[in-house]
Amino acid sequence: MNLIYVLDIVGTFAFAISGALVASKKQFDLFGVIIIAFATAVGGGMMRDVLINAHPINWIGDLNYIWTILAAVVFTFLFKSKIAPLSKTLFLFDTIGIGVFTLLGTQKGLSYDLHPFIAIVMGMVSSVMGGVIRDVLTNEVPLIFKKEIYASACLAGGSVYLISNYLNASESIQYTATILTVIVIRLLAVKLKLELPKIKDDLFGKTT
């Protein structure tokens, strides 16, 4: 069991908890909580695999993802009162998770001989689309469409992976540089309240 796989499982667990907490806050029943946790944890990887026609789909080919999600749901039900206030801790796990999934998605895109730019996009899809699906199912505006630098950090991380891979850096350097790029950009964006520009004015004045 290699380090990346372990991080993938840890990221899946963290994403599943975040999904379960959102569903619980919305007062979903147990089945609803499981569905939202599942969508949050593996939705991005599943969408990536469908887009690139990769079979079997990630969670179908490895049942450890299912057991991890179910364990996260049970963990959330048992310790909700303890973990719900730990927003900073969950945020850090989420940030590490998107860093890992950016790496895994970009790697998989390249392994299917996709254009490097498309491979980076697949890294972003792996990282953020689970959260988008979660937000849509719970009637929320997806985070990546609102204010925080989220998907952009994933694109930057994927670019770093491509560059380090092109330079024939060691795998450890490639992995570390990719994940740290996503984490640092995400943390700085939140700490400094950075966000992408919005379209407020056109060439002729303010829009309505």
Q: Which residues have CB under 8 Å from 8's CB, separation 6+?
A: 100, 101, 104
Sheet strands (E) in the chain: 201-202, 205-206
Q: Is the pLDDT of residue 207 over 60?
A: no
Q: Where are the alpha helices (DSSP H) in the chain?
A: 3-25, 30-51, 58-61, 64-83, 87-111, 116-137, 151-166, 171-191
Average pLDDT over the chain, rounded to an integer: 87
The Cα–Cα gap between 194 and 15 comes to 23
Contact 123, 105 (CB under 8 A): yes
Contact 96, 183 (CB under 8 A): yes
Looking at residue 70, its pLDDT comes to 96
Q: What percent of the chain has pLDDT over 90?
A: 53
Model pLDDT for residues 128-142, shown as the tens digit of each residue: 999 899 999 999 888
Looking at residue 18, its pLDDT comes to 85
The Cα–Cα gap between 46 and 119 comes to 15
Model pLDDT for residues 53-112, shown as the tens digit of each residue: 998 998 998 999 999 999 999 998 888 887 767 667 667 777 888 888 999 999 999 999
Contact 21, 106 (CB under 8 A): no
Looking at residue 205, its pLDDT comes to 64
| pLDDT tier, 150 (very low <50, low <70, confident <90, very high otherwise) | confident
Contact 16, 93 (CB under 8 A): no
Q: Which residues of 149-185 are buried (b: 16+ CB within 10 A; e: fewer)?
A: bbbbbbbbbbbbbbebbeeeeeeeebbebbbebbbeb
> Looking at residue 138, what DSSP letter applies?
T
The Cα–Cα gap between 123 and 35 comes to 23
Query: What is the average pLDDT across 152-161?
Result: 94
Model pLDDT for residues 18-27, shown as the tens digit of each residue: 889 889 889 9
| pLDDT tier, 119 (very low <50, low <70, confident <90, very high otherwise) | very high
